[in-house]
Amino acid sequence: MARRAVQTALIHLTLIVVVLLVGFPLLFALIKATQTGAAVNSANVIPSTHLWDNLVSAWNGAKLGLYIRNSFVVAVGITVLKVITSSLAAMVLVYFRIPAKSLLFTLILLTLMLPTDLLVVALFDLVNKLGWANTYQAVIVPFAASATGIFLLRQHFMNIPGSLLDAARIDGAGPFRFLLSVLVPLSWNTIGALTLIQFIYGWEQYLWPLIIIRDSSHQVIQVGLKSLIGQASGQTDWGMVMAGTLVAILPPVIMFTLLGRQFSKGFVLSESK
């Protein structure tokens, strides 16, 4: 009994130390967001009183409110489209009898090795030609499909027992009925997990919006934040940047909190039956 108590105490202690170490930079950012001027880029960790001012600067002066709204549009758009297209594609790859299935799956998986960031120049030319420069669709549509999503959903579908499938077939259900009333209800965890990952992916977009979006009415938060960090001497209001950081981190953290449980349950990569 005592050994258990000691063990538990040790675990708590370790975790607290680790949390402090891992979480320190955020605490640092929090303190810095309350400071202003030169105190921010110094060792001073005494909280000051400028948090509200910095937040107001960041929200209004640096238009963070606008950027956050745009990032929401983009992140949600990307997430919804990815979930839909991945579900449809995964369903085909598992439940349809078509030729060259392996080839198609391989072609889809190969795109995991084509990171958008390396292709932005070519992508710019293309999107420009489509007339989509500076629009929401320019930052959403190129990411509307997801090899990761297809991979995970396919895995998940393959783990669903065949008995359920037979039952639905006896009912005479067509593919869409099957998808919506059988597969989806069984896949909430995976979908939830996918939603979380893709939302954060969409939220973190930086290089592509930087290139294709030219005015702030459509610009996203990561570009907005980074652009506050000036290159030359003294051009950066670091207190405002720190405050902006705290605001920008909230939506992903909220998503984590909301979807955390789905995430835990949504990744069954091996037969756990």
**Residues with Cβ < 8 Å from 57, sequence gap 6 or more?**
237, 239, 240, 243
Q: Does 163 bind other proteins (CB under 8 A)?
A: no
Residues ≥6 apart with Cβ < 8 Å to 124: 211, 212
Interacting residue with other proteins among 55, 183, 193, 247 (CB under 8 A): 193
DSSP letter assigned to residue 130 = T
Q: Is 104 in the site for other proteins (CB under 8 A)?
A: yes
Kindly identify the residues of this chain, within the stretch 121-150, that bind other proteins according to CB under 8 A.
121-126, 128, 133, 141-145, 147, 150
Among 73, 92, 182, 186, binds other proteins (CB under 8 A): 92
Contact status: 76 vs other proteins (CB under 8 A): no
Residue from the set 34, 57, 70, 198 that interacts with other proteins by CB under 8 A: 57
End-to-end CA distance of the chain: give it in Å, rounded: 33
**At its nearest, how many Å lie between other proteins and the CB of residue 215?**
7
**Which distant-in-sequence residues (6+ apart) come within 8 Å of 134 by Cβ?**
212, 213, 214, 215, 218
> Least CB distance from residue 171 to other proteins, whole Å?
12
Tell me: does residue 164 bind other proteins (CB under 8 A): no
Closest CA to 147 of 115, 113, 108: 108
Tell me how far apart the alpha carbons of residues 149 and 266 are, in angstroms, rounded to a whole number: 12
- Which of 72-80, 86-94, 180-188 is the region at the interface with other proteins (rule: CB under 8 A)? 86-94
Closest CB 124 distance from other proteins, rounded Å: 7
Task: Give the residue with the Cβ less far from other proteins, 51 or 62.
Answer: 62
Backbone angles phi, psi at 200, to 5 degrees: -65, -35
Q: Is residue 22 involved in binding other proteins (CB under 8 A)?
A: yes
Q: Amino acid identity, residue 251?
A: P
Closer CB to other proteins, residue 185 or residue 235?
A: 235
